[in-house]
Amino acid sequence: MTAIASLRRVGLPRLVVHVSVLLICIVWLIPTLGILVTSFRDAGQITASGWWTAFTGAAETSAARLGEPSTARQEGANYVISGSVFEGGQGGTVRAFGTRVAAPTEFPAGQTADIGNGETLTINEDGSYIYSKNAPFEGRGKRVYLSVATPPSFTTDNYRTVLTSQGIGQSFVNSLTVAIPATIIPILIAAFAAYALSWMEFPGRALIIAMVVGLIVVPLQMSLIPLLRMYNEIGNFFGVPSRSYAGIWLAHSAFGMPLAIYLLRNYIAGLPREIIESARVDGASDFEIFVKIILPLSFPALASFSIFQFLWTWNDLLVAMVFLGTGKDQLVLTGALNALLGSMGGKWEILTASAFITIVVPIIVFFALQRYLVRGLLAGSVKGG
Amino acid sequence: MKASFWIGTALAVLLAGGASAQQLKFPPGQDQRFNWKSYEDFKAAHANLKGQGLTLFGPWRGEDEVLFNSVLAYFNAATGINGRYSSSENYEQQIVIDTQAGSPPNIAIIPQPGLLADLAAKGFLTSLGQENSDWVKTNYGSGADWIRYGTYKGKDGKEAYFGFPFKADFKSMVWYVPENFEEAGYDVPKTMEDLIKLSDQIVADGGVPWCIGLGSGGATGWPATDWVEDMMLRTQKPEVYDKWVSNEVKFDDPAVVGAIDEFGKFGKNPKYVAGGVAAVSSTDFRDSPKGLFDIPPKCYLHHQASFVPSFFPPGTELGTDADFFYLPTYASKPDLGTPVLGAGTMFAITKDSPAAKAFIEFLKTPIAHEVWMAQSSFLTPFKGANPDAYANEVLKKQGELLTTATTFRFDASDLMPGKIGAGAFWTGMVDYVGGKDAKTVASDIQKAWDGLK
């Protein structure tokens, strides 16, 4: 009974934990997987069937048009049009065909169907057809209905559409120009502030901390109009444009600051008092303590906050639209991709491919900093570490 | 640093996909369908503005943005003005933020007259003056109606003309697949009675007549408001419709409740709608027209505005693979004429400049209309534009209906206050197809309206 033996070795509680972690991971991954699969299917497939059917290949019913009457040739008493129903489209295997939309799979492939009016039609499995009539054909090419088994097919066209669309490169650069300084500036300021708030004695310190915590809950949407108005006034006064990178860096820094200060203060306040006091005794100034002791020790917290802040600024659409403008050359990546969706939206093939394109940079940042993230996430939660 | 190398490579690849040069889609002077004289005249009259800037902000993104830019290119080429168009997903909010904060674009393009009226009341719009108002009145089909939708009270409380209509949408139509009709032997109905008869006929033949989808994310329910508005115009006089918009006729008035129930004849009839009534509010409006093209067809009829062909399957040829007919009127109510429900985008000056004025002048030239007509998804009530410039017969037919309509009424939900037209009315319609009766829904919406005052 090896199964029971190994179960005993692992222990039931641990097994339950492992299985539930595995389940949760799978549940979390399924939507991402769905988006990934969808991004490789073309627009027609996406609306016709779910992404989970993408690997099996489907028998779909479709319509095709036979050749125009002008392509008919005379064979004895009959007029004949022949060709392939797959002309100009993707191939497949014809299972059945029909000539009435109400009965699209009336005849099995290969059978010669007598469709009345002196006409006969044969469609073979490979799509070739012979359509004949005992009188000249008239009107438009005849519409026929087919049940076609298609092999699973994937396309990279969606990615090509997104990557080669106009202005996407510019917007990528814009996004980086916004996100990198908007990550570094608040961290620099917040680290100073956090040190002062945790290790420098001055009156009103607790009040300032309380205010900073309070500011975390202020929704940024509320301050968009006053802030932009302020920018416009300052811009008018100095005669410079109000919508600039400096403006959006400041906006992102300010919006990110309360959380940054709070997070870093809790971490820095938890550093061992002995180290800082002995540094003071040795005659180190506050600045030296900050640079030589605090910064290196709080690297995990800095790294984890920079991931948060970078992701937030990278994914942001609203702040960028308001403070940077909506012109083609000012759009950040999220804005440019959003514009690709069109006025009515609903283009899943573009949306899913874009999602995977925007994800690339955050993933690089995440893997570069992830080993600090777990330690940093605990910032402030375990005192006296 | 390996990472930076990869980022660098990625950037290089991405940057390679740019490069643009604005070219005129149709070379001036060649295609005789276009009124090139109007282009040359405009060019000659506005030669002194070279080098000025002009910013335009509007609702069009993606393909529509490309189309509008192709029109703007002619303006830029004629005047030497550097006109730049931009958009945003939340343009309604963005235009409010921009005007309030003091950094508006020169011209705002807004499809909701209600929103423009708000901006005008706060003094953010520059009046276009009597001259433009007179021009629209004489040169647009149902011009007097169009002026009404562009005239609002300014900050001083006086009415003035602010919104110049350019690009109209036509909503009173029913889409169908001619070949499906042909095979089943159905005829295009000429009256509402015939339309109901046809629907019954399709049911009797074992089919499902209608595809109705109200889903639209946060805006779920709006397609039903178009239905109710169309039914309103087919059961009541246009004056009643106007009073309904301004709430002089209450939402729970029998006239309105009647129109909601007219929609219910179709939308709440389980035999009439594909997937049953439960599917009506859960089907996305962008997906619902696809039922027409299923084999066998999920439905035979679809009521939707002129934009919908962009959601037809790729390769669908308008006029042959898919066509439309005018949502007919009741033969029993001949005095209502041929009312048309539509919508349109209004151009308003949010920051005055000679270039902005010149752009409004440009919109009065036939060429501005014809360049977009010859491409896609554009209708104009401008009588001076050559109907032959329309890219296909379907557009031409819609354009003719628009210029010859006896009554033109703007989409009511775009005229009502935002909380109603883009809120209570939508959710009310979802409740209605969800099972509530018209009376309850209508009085709920009226309560929401009363709450605004």
The amino acid at residue B34 is F
Q: Band of the pLDDT at B14, cuts 50, 70, 90?
A: very low
pLDDT > 70? residue B249: yes
Percent of chain A whose pLDDT exceeds 90: 28
* Full set of structural domains in chain B with CATH: 32-170+342-410 (3.40.190.10), 173-340+414-450 (3.40.190.10)
From B14, B313, B320, residue closest to A168, measured CB to CB: B14
Average pLDDT, chain A: 85
Backbone angles phi, psi at A108, to 5 degrees: -70, 155
pLDDT at A375: 63
B-chain CB neighbours of A140 within 8 Å are 320
pLDDT at A338: 85
Judged by CB atoms closer than 8 Å, whether chains meet at A341 and B61 is answered as yes
Q: Band of the pLDDT at B128, cuts 50, 70, 90?
A: very high
pLDDT > 60? residue B8: no
pLDDT at B1: 42
More confident residue, B242 or B377: B242
Judged by CB atoms closer than 8 Å, whether chains meet at B101 and A225 is answered as yes
Query: Which candidate in B23, B97, B180, B208 is best for mutational testing of the A interface (most A CBs within 10 A)?
Result: B97
Judged by CB atoms closer than 8 Å, whether chains meet at B180 and A104 is answered as no
B-chain CB neighbours of A61 within 8 Å are 294-296
* Tokens coding B23: 């070219």
Q: Rounded to 5, what percent of chain B is helix, strand, coil?
A: 50, 15, 35
Taking residues B254-274, report their average pLDDT: 94
pLDDT > 90? residue A79: no
In whole angstroms, give the CA distance from residue B5 to residue B139: 61
Query: Which candidate in A87, A90, A310, A326 is best for mutational testing of the B interface (most B CBs within 10 A)?
Result: A326
Min CA distance, A309 vs chain B (Å)? 20
User: CA of B333: how far to CAs of A133, B237, B349, B410, in Å?
Assistant: 49, 10, 41, 21
In whole angstroms, give the CA distance from residue A27 to residue A50: 17
Q: Are strands B339-349 and B407-410 parallel, antiparallel or unpaired?
A: parallel
From B20, B63, B97, residue closest to A225, measured CB to CB: B97
Taking residues A374-383, report their average pLDDT: 54
Query: Which candidate in B4, B11, B85, B87 is best for mutational testing of the A interface (most A CBs within 10 A)?
Result: B87
B-chain CB neighbours of A226 within 8 Å are 101
Q: Band of the pLDDT at A378, cuts 50, 70, 90?
A: low
What's the gap between Cα B393 and its chain centre? 19
What's the gap between Cα B274 and its chain centre? 25
The amino acid at residue B109 is I
From B3, B311, B313, residue closest to A44, measured CB to CB: B313
Average pLDDT, chain B: 89
Min CA distance, A188 vs chain B (Å)? 23
For residue B6, the chain A residue with the least C-alpha distance is A364
From B60, B62, B87, residue closest to A326, measured CB to CB: B87
pLDDT at B20: 36
pLDDT at A19: 93
Choice among A130-144, A264-278, B19-33, B198-212 with the minimum mean pLDDT: B19-33
Taking residues B82-92, report their average pLDDT: 88
Q: Are strands A107-108 and A93-98 parallel, antiparallel or unpaired?
A: antiparallel
Choice among A153-162, B10-19, B109-118, B339-348 with the minimum mean pLDDT: B10-19
B283-321 per-position pLDDT tens digit: 999 889 989 988 888 999 999 998 898 888 878 888 888
Backbone angles phi, psi at A258, to 5 degrees: -55, -45
B351-391 per-position pLDDT tens digit: 999 999 999 999 999 999 999 999 888 999 998 999 999 98
B-chain CB neighbours of A345 within 8 Å are 217, 286
pLDDT > 80? residue B272: yes
B-chain CB neighbours of A327 within 8 Å are 55, 84, 86
A-chain CB neighbours of B297 within 8 Å are 101
Provide the number of CB pairs (under 8 Å) joining chain A to chain B.
133
From A143, A225, A341, residue closest to B62, measured CB to CB: A341
pLDDT at B6: 52
User: CA of A120: how far to CAs of A71, A75, A87, A148, B15, in Å?
Assistant: 17, 14, 21, 21, 57
Q: Band of the pLDDT at A90, cuts 50, 70, 90?
A: low
pLDDT > 90? residue A26: yes
pLDDT > 60? residue A376: no
pLDDT > 50? residue B149: yes
A325-355 per-position pLDDT tens digit: 888 888 899 988 888 887 777 788 888 999 8
From A321, A335, A364, residue closest to B3, measured CB to CB: A364
pLDDT at A328: 80
Give the H or E element holding residue B153.
Answer: strand B151-153
pLDDT > 80? residue A6: no
Taking residues A58-66, report their average pLDDT: 78
* Tokens coding A197: 């708030």
Taking residues A281-287, report their average pLDDT: 90
Burial class (CB in 10 A: 0-12, 13-18, 19+), B113: buried
A-chain CB neighbours of B88 within 8 Å are 321, 326, 335
| pTM of the entire predicted model | 0.82
What three-state secondary structure class fits B109?
strand
The amino acid at residue A192 is F
pLDDT at A88: 62
pLDDT > 70? residue B18: no
Taking residues A41-66, report their average pLDDT: 80
pLDDT at B16: 41
Q: Band of the pLDDT at B178, cuts 50, 70, 90?
A: very high
Residues in CB range of B121: below 8 A, 6 or more apart: B152, B153, B154, B155
From B57, B179, B217, residue closest to A143, measured CB to CB: B179
A-chain CB neighbours of B104 within 8 Å are none
Min CA distance, A319 vs chain B (Å)? 11
Judged by CB atoms closer than 8 Å, whether chains meet at B10 and A163 is answered as no
From B86, B100, B206, residue closest to A328, measured CB to CB: B86
A-chain CB neighbours of B183 within 8 Å are 100-102
pLDDT > 90? residue B22: no
Query: Which candidate in A61, A101, A330, A363 is best for mutational testing of the B interface (most B CBs within 10 A)?
Result: A101
A-chain CB neighbours of B53 within 8 Å are none
Judged by CB atoms closer than 8 Å, whether chains meet at B184 and A163 is answered as no
B-chain CB neighbours of A338 within 8 Å are 61, 89
Burial class (CB in 10 A: 0-12, 13-18, 19+), B421: buried
Taking residues A13-29, report their average pLDDT: 93
